[in-house]
Structure 1
């Protein structure tokens, strides 16, 4: 349960615009206290090599300076900053930009997958949905991607398609041209969007269709004399014909069209009209809520016993038939060793260690010979609800390096694996390699700056000769690391 008037902030670093939401919970009801938006068009600054243009990044950083005072007033664990399509594409080359964002906001940026983005959008829209549970299809057209989700109380199908109002503007509406001579760029964009939707005609069947975010709200205002209300098939057919007949975006004489949205409106409309046509939709209701509200609800859940990530791990354990008894043994010893080593270790790190251990044998569901590598691959590339991409990388790194030679990771923004967690996981695996219960009362782990020191009771070693051999091998493995491991019998 939230404490009275507990406040949260969500910041969505989208491909077209950045959005800030400050909200609080009054009872179980979320109340929006403050919203802000900056039309950044981050996707415009992404070149073919996935590099961000300095002019666009400066525009983005200036917008964040405006948001900073709101974020600065809250505890760090009450703020979440997420990056979506453009930052997913640029992540490998955007370390400097992301570090500057964090220095301004004081909060790390989490790059999320398209499927996680879709889940958060669905949860945000449904958080305030009224009436009895019913089948819904939620649509969100962003700057770089379009998310479609089908579900009732929870998502049943999540899709993220690489088509957005900014990316399609760059692709089809260069210099703002819509139609000239025999080339109709609006028709080309609409056909391309319909092609992307070819396998999804069923996603809106027998469901209430709800749209959200900038493009859909802009279309709604134009079709409804400035009000945000439902969009009908007839309305959007007429609007699409009108826009496709124009020569240039500057020629669009549309009431209630925000001038900041004008350069990307034709592309967004082409995508939305394609969705209506390809999915055979007659009416789309429009929600004022979207991903920001989903982020806030997720944040509140993490702090008050409803962490979606824990549910995801539990589902993976079941799906991959993990030996839960072994995971319990290894986790118990590893966490005790971490407590010895770092009594004040952050709770989030302890949870990450526990989750990695729960999944450390997940690869055994498919292979014995390369189970660590396969398990790590599945964790890194799976769509894990609630997790950011860097969190998945951390888990995958720990699983891959649970035994044997320790691989040096390629570190980047958001991914700086902890040797403390790795050591404790590896020691836990060694202690219980034979899948038996074994107390660690005879072990003492501490850090002297230049090396880890593990003191082991000689009698304990004598009773576990195989473990003693594995500990000697572990000392050798740590010689390749920045910090050594020294094992001493006492």
Structure 2
């Protein structure tokens, strides 16, 4: 019988009582990387229970209490110091919030902190900062049930924050009360969103942000629809207007049938879409990507020890190497060869540092699929990377990573390269060529038999020079290089092997 571990890794729980949904996330640390072990989400729609007097009705409170009774079962095994529970917009404004909170704290057995709009915005931004790598100023947008948060910041420092009184639940009640979708309703919702935004729009336009990221259920739903419809996973105003036309064509909630839109998001999809269109128009947003974290991740990472001092991407790579038993020495051996090749090719095959960073990550993770089986390991690797929590990697970066790791040897699947949008196709082909040659040259998996090599690239030709004696001592590697001349031609690269 297997020996039981001497101790369990501590669990951490964060709960967000939002205006639309209640969320609980339970995690643990694995090699400085966060591993989510459980998530519970319920569409409580607390904001829909606010009456004209600003009080929560009994039905919405009952839905909330019932949900918290589910959460309480999981919390009983987690140390109190490892638990954080916050409430947001609806419980900030409800006049009878105290009644709800007293009963809620009895159910959970823990204190609930009602956070201000600025505190909510800060936590949302920190959730993004801990999970999405960026050296530039960025605009973060979170469309919640009763409020919308806008934050501009850099690194872990939020510099401009605002919580606006508009959300997908409250706007749905106000502008789509009968769940009828008309041009007039969209126009009214758009106008109100712009009215709320107007006092702050110049400050946000002048904040010099260079990229826009979104983090809410609304943004997630839009991204899922775009993906299901075969569109690139980047949101722009043209795509939003097209989605609006799809909603209008359906006419009402009962007939709302849009490819990729799940049932639980349907009731507030139109209202969230109207708010987002207004934000794009008034803030002059060109495109927006989905970020990896939000308020719960902000709570969690600030709860965990020393997380600001760990490089986000390295934390993810270390966690994946531990989880999937990747040979760390071999991973970095391949990465070292790739780095040498990049240095030698720098003057002719010029590609940006952020592309090289993804190449290094691909080198580290190229054998991740071997944990499942050798046969089909490339396909397994792509599946893992498509579905794993990859903090520090945007969606376009993830797709490039999948394209490289899914093609690290043998046959080339060009469709993976075409599917990614992070790098131009030719740059992706260059990166892949370097990865594939680095894997072949490290075939012996030993440092003391690594060859001295030189590599040059001009336009679409690539010349790899190796010692003749070394090639004779490694006939298998030599044979694989000959085959690589054929395989790499699919990338429109003419490879030649020079013996000296």
TM-score (ref. length: structure 2):
0.56
Pairs within 5 Å for 1:401-440: none
**Offset at 1:212?**
0.8
Aligned match of 2:278: 274
Q: Any idea what the Cα deviations from partners look like across 1:284-306, whole Å, max 9, x if unmatched?
A: 1102321001011222359999x
**2:139 matches 1:137:** yes
Larger CA deviation: 137-146 vs 278-287: 278-287
Give the direction of change, closer, same or farther, for the CA distance of 1:242–1:197 in structure 2 (3 Å limit): same
Aligned match of 1:174: 177
**Offset at 1:7?**
2.3
Q: Structure 1 CA distance, aligned partners of 2:247 and 2:179?
A: 12
Q: Any idea what the Cα deviations from partners look like across 1:65-109, whole Å, max 9, x if unmatched?
A: 22222211111121111110000011x422222122111111111
Asked if 2 retains the 8 angstrom alpha-carbon contact of 1:14 and 1:143, the reply is yes
Asked if 2 retains the 8 angstrom alpha-carbon contact of 1:8 and 1:24, the reply is yes
Q: Structure 2 CA distance, aligned partners of 1:303 and 1:271?
A: 34
**Offset at 1:115?**
0.8
Pairs within 5 Å for 1:305-344: none
Q: Any idea what the Cα deviations from partners look like across 1:385-423, whole Å, max 9, x if unmatched?
A: xxxxxxxxxxxxxxxxxxxxxxxxxxxxxxxxxxxxxxx
**2:93 matches 1:89:** yes
Give the direction of change, closer, same or farther, for the CA distance of 1:304–1:265 in structure 2 (3 Å limit): closer
Q: Structure 2 CA distance, aligned partners of 1:201 and 1:15?
A: 28
Asked if 2 retains the 8 angstrom alpha-carbon contact of 1:20 and 1:35, the reply is yes
Aligned match of 1:53: 57
**Offset at 1:4?**
9.1
Q: Equivalent residue of 2:263, what SS?
A: coil
**2:152 matches 1:150:** yes
**Offset at 1:166?**
0.3
Superposition RMSD in Å: 2.4
Tell me which of 218, 232, 239 is aligned to 1:235: 239
Aligned match of 1:164: 167
Give the direction of change, closer, same or farther, for the CA distance of 1:30–1:236 in structure 2 (3 Å limit): same
Asked if 2 retains the 8 angstrom alpha-carbon contact of 1:187 and 1:244, the reply is no
Q: Equivalent residue of 2:264, what SS?
A: coil
Tell me which of 40, 62, 67 is aligned to 2:71: 67
Q: Structure 1 CA distance, aligned partners of 2:168 and 2:253?
A: 13
Asked if 2 retains the 8 angstrom alpha-carbon contact of 1:87 and 1:111, the reply is yes
Aligned match of 2:197: 197
Aligned match of 2:300: 296
**2:26 matches 1:25:** no
Asked if 2 retains the 8 angstrom alpha-carbon contact of 1:184 and 1:244, the reply is no
Q: Structure 2 CA distance, aligned partners of 1:206 and 1:89?
A: 31
**Offset at 1:38?**
0.2
Asked if 2 retains the 8 angstrom alpha-carbon contact of 1:4 and 1:26, the reply is no
User: Which segments of structure 1 move beyond 4 Å, counting only runs of 4 or more?
Assistant: 301-305
Q: Structure 2 CA distance, aligned partners of 1:304 and 1:262?
A: 37
Give the direction of change, closer, same or farther, for the CA distance of 1:73–1:184 in structure 2 (3 Å limit): same
Q: Structure 2 CA distance, aligned partners of 1:155 and 1:304?
A: 14
Q: Equivalent residue of 2:228, what SS?
A: coil
Tell me which of 282, 287, 293 is aligned to 1:283: 287
**Offset at 1:214?**
0.4
Give the direction of change, closer, same or farther, for the CA distance of 1:82–1:226 in structure 2 (3 Å limit): farther
Asked if 1 retains the 8 angstrom alpha-carbon contact of 2:226 and 2:260, the reply is no
Aligned match of 2:116: 113
Q: Runs of 5+ in structure 1 lacking a partner? A: 306-490
Larger CA deviation: 64-73 vs 238-247: 238-247
Aligned match of 1:37: 41
Q: Runs of 5+ in structure 2 lacking a partner? A: 1-6, 310-500
Asked if 2 retains the 8 angstrom alpha-carbon contact of 1:249 and 1:266, the reply is no
Aligned match of 1:221: 224
Q: Equivalent residue of 1:108, what SS?
A: coil
Larger CA deviation: 198-207 vs 30-39: 198-207
Q: Any idea what the Cα deviations from partners look like across 1:90-146, whole Å, max 9, x if unmatched?
A: 1x422222122111111111100011000000000110122x521111100000000
Q: Equivalent residue of 2:40, what SS?
A: strand
Q: How many residues align?
A: 298
Asked if 2 retains the 8 angstrom alpha-carbon contact of 1:9 and 1:20, the reply is yes
Aligned match of 1:185: 185
Asked if 1 retains the 8 angstrom alpha-carbon contact of 2:136 and 2:209, the reply is no
Give the direction of change, closer, same or farther, for the CA distance of 1:176–1:300 in structure 2 (3 Å limit): same
Q: Structure 1 CA distance, aligned partners of 2:224 and 2:307?
A: 37
Tell me which of 205, 211, 215 is aligned to 1:212: 215
Larger CA deviation: 209-218 vs 243-252: 243-252
Asked if 2 retains the 8 angstrom alpha-carbon contact of 1:186 and 1:244, the reply is no
Q: Structure 2 CA distance, aligned partners of 1:242 and 1:303?
A: 43
Q: Structure 1 CA distance, aligned partners of 2:11 and 2:216?
A: 23
**Offset at 1:278?**
1.1
Asked if 2 retains the 8 angstrom alpha-carbon contact of 1:4 and 1:27, the reply is no
Q: Any idea what the Cα deviations from partners look like across 1:454-473, whole Å, max 9, x if unmatched?
A: xxxxxxxxxxxxxxxxxxxx
TM-score (ref. length: structure 1):
0.57
Q: Equivalent residue of 1:32, what SS?
A: strand
Give the direction of change, closer, same or farther, for the CA distance of 1:177–1:25 in structure 2 (3 Å limit): same
Q: Equivalent residue of 1:10, what SS?
A: strand
